[in-house]
Amino acid sequence: MSEIKQLKGLIDKATRIVFFGGAGVSTESGIPDFRSEKGLYKAKQEYGRSPEEMISHSFFVREPEIFYDYYKKNLIYPDAQPNAAHLGIAALEGAGKDVRVVTQNIDGLHTAAGSTHVYELHGSVLRNYCLKCGAKYDLAYIMDPAHCVPPGGGEAGHVPYCEKCGGMVRPDVVLYEEGLDDATVKGAVDAIAKADLLIVGGTSLVVYPAAGFLNYYHGKDLVLINLTATSADRMATLAIREPIGEVFAALG
């Protein structure tokens, strides 16, 4: 495929590479996009609310039990494994390339694949912390019903509680109505600004503020890998309309 050959050529000559990825990278690992039409329909049918409302800061504060019921059913996929895209990006780093990953996904699959410089703009489902004392917990902890019993006793629900102080534990993810982490944004912007090759994959570039990060890129080559057109196509050196996993698998 001529596009794959062209992409390989751009990668070979690049010194600093940034991969900027969206939900389309995770869907190939069997993690559905909760913002999709199907996800919206499912949320409306079961909860009578939109996904954006249920994973908002105000809803978490107001209805933590319903929040966690939805969150655990729709955003947690503990059996998901890195796909060819995650592995291909990590392989570039393993081959000696300077590669940074900026992701809008919260599944931790880039790190699981072996990438060591990952900026998780929206946080990670793998990290959780107590709102009262700050104690940190992994995913297994919050998914264990034994840790979802209210401090005063009673039946287990969906909300996890801290084993140290009894405070409510929340996921270390950026909810709607919340701002991105300053340090993560700074690191991501700095990496993009210093890159000479930016590969954007699995995103239609409509979710802000993340999509606006492309404005910080001043390098020579921009590659877009997405099944549908994006607002940045006119600026791209190369635009590939194929599943991102297939593209990286073809790179070898």
Instruction: Give tens-digit pLDDT for 48-106.
Output: 999 899 999 999 999 999 999 999 999 999 999 999 999 999 999 999 999 999 999 99
Instruction: Give tens-digit pLDDT for 90-119.
Output: 999 999 999 999 999 999 999 999 999 999
Instruction: Give tens-digit pLDDT for 116-134.
Output: 999 999 999 999 999 999 9
Token digits of residue 133: 């004392």
Residue 1: pLDDT over 90: no
For the chain, percent helix, then strand, then coil, each to nearest 5?
40, 20, 40
pLDDT, residue 230, reads: 81
Closest CA to 224 of 192, 196, 198, 200: 200
* Percent residues over pLDDT 70 in the chain: 95
Query: How is 175-223 classified by DSSP, letter by letter?
Result: -BT-PPPHHHHHHHHHHHHH-SEEEEES--S-STTGGGGGGG--SSEEE
The rounded distance, in Å, linking the Cα atoms of 166 and 188 is 35
In CATH, the number for domain 124-173 is 3.30.1600.10
DSSP-derived letter for residue 56 is B
Look up 122 and say whether it is catalytic: yes
- CB of 251 closer than 8 Å to CB of 8: yes
pLDDT, residue 37, reads: 65
Four-residue CA torsion sign, 167, 172, 173, 175: positive
Alpha carbon separation from 146 to 68, 150, 161 (Å, rounded): 15, 10, 9
pLDDT, residue 7, reads: 95
- CB of 179 closer than 8 Å to CB of 2: no
In CATH, the number for domain 1-31+78-122+179-252 is 3.40.50.1220
Closest CA to 6 of 223, 205, 183: 223
One of 86, 110, 117, 122 is an active-site residue; which one? Answer: 122
Closest CA to 55 of 28, 41, 79, 74: 74
The whole-chain average pLDDT of the chain stands at 92
- Spans of all domains in the chain: 1-31+78-122+179-252, 32-76, 124-173
Question: What b/e readout covers 144-172, taking b as 16+ CB neighbours within 10 angstroms?
Answer: eeebbeeeeeeeeebbbbbeeeebbbbbb
Instruction: Give tens-digit pLDDT for 148-171.
Output: 999 988 888 999 999 999 999 999
Answering whether pTM is above 0.85, one says yes
